[in-house]
Amino acid sequence: MGTRGFLQIAPGRQVALNGVEWTIENVHGQLGHLVLVDTDGRTETRSFRWLINHADLRLLPKAEATGRPAPVSRQPRTLADLTEDQRERARLKAAHVLEAETGFREGHRARALPGEPRPAYDPDRTTLTQRRHAKVAETKAMPRPEAVRLGLQHLGYRTLEGLSGLSGDSLLMACADGRWTRRRSGHRSVTEEVREAIFAVKGECKERSSLSLAAKHRLMHQYIRERFPAFPTEKIPSRWTLAAV
């Protein structure tokens, strides 16, 4: 790893990526994958190669070196931590991943659904690379609310590579949004609907850094009105709560 030193890829190891702190939550050595979790509980499944070659990777001091207590180990999430709706959303996202990997949403020709394989994903006529690029293009063309609901708004080629090799419950959990699991702290006014709106606006404004907080707050109102028309307007938190979150 050159000047970065030797990276111990082990649960509990903390790193900074683009200035954001992450903790290695789980390691799947046989698959070459690991699970990262940030301070907001968001998880990412990545390959060892992706982490080692990250352009802005910084190793954080171990707890004993800083004098700070080590973080309490969290019990691994399971499908039981998700609601039925969240599990269904994870299944739909996993189906997109499997279609890119195999050409079939159930992951195998023997379980082909009606109309499969679709031309862009036919394994007899396309390469894995072509199918992954086709899936990225397909998800980018989705209506924004639909993509956000399924967690596909940031699905890129590297993400598909990182999910490669996972199957069954492991793939479903990798496709489940870490923000779905219950937290013991945080702003009570930030419901699941509000949280989804915040992350949607954050993604939308990624390349519009000059946008004011008031404008972002208006976008959050607009998103909630369109995505959750029955959500009470008075329960949408103030712009200052939005800034804190």
Per-residue pLDDT tens for 118-173?
A: 999 999 999 999 999 999 999 999 998 888 888 888 888 888 888 887 778 888 88
DSSP 126: -
3-state secondary structure of 58: strand
- Assign 230 a pLDDT band (cuts: 50, 70, 90): confident
Domain 2-66 has CATH 3.30.9.10: no
The pLDDT, as a whole number, for residue 169 is: 80
CA–CA separation, 95 vs 82, rounded Å?
18
The neighbour count for residue 127, using CB atoms within 10 Å, is: 9
Intra-chain end-to-end CA distance of the chain, in Å: 34
Q: Which two tokens stand for residue 159?
A: 């993400």
The pLDDT, as a whole number, for residue 15 is: 85
**236 vs 121, which has greater pLDDT?**
121
Classify residue 23 as exposed, middle or buried by CB count within 10 Å of its CB (0-12, 13-18, 19+): middle
Please check the confidence at residue 213 and state whether its pLDDT lies above 80. Answer: no
The pLDDT, as a whole number, for residue 180 is: 55
Domain boundaries, the chain: 2-66, 82-180, 192-244
The pLDDT, as a whole number, for residue 183 is: 44
The pLDDT, as a whole number, for residue 73 is: 44
Please check the confidence at residue 2 and state whether its pLDDT lies above 60. Answer: no
CA of residue 38 relative to chain centroid, distance = 11
Cis peptide bond N-terminal to 114, omega within 30? no
Please check the confidence at residue 3 and state whether its pLDDT lies above 60. Answer: no
CA of residue 238 relative to chain centroid, distance = 26
The b/e string for 200-218 (b: 16+ C-beta within 10 A; e otherwise) is bbeebeeeeeeeeeeebbe
Q: Quick one: what percent of the chain has pLDDT higher than 70? A: 77
Q: What is the mean pLDDT of residues 219-243?
A: 79
Phi, psi of 185 (to 5 degrees): -145, 180
What pairs with residue 59 in β-bridges?
Answer: 15
The b/e string for 46-61 (b: 16+ C-beta within 10 A; e otherwise) is bbbebbeeeeebeeee
Looking at every residue in the chain, the average pLDDT score rounds to 77
Side by side, the strands of the sheet bearing 43-47 are 43-47, 33-38, 20-28, 14-17, 57-59
Please check the confidence at residue 198 and state whether its pLDDT lies above 60. Answer: yes
The pLDDT, as a whole number, for residue 76 is: 55
The pLDDT, as a whole number, for residue 238 is: 75
Q: What is the pLDDT of residues 56-114, one digit of tens each?
A: 788 877 644 444 444 444 455 667 777 888 888 889 999 999 999 999 999 999 999 99
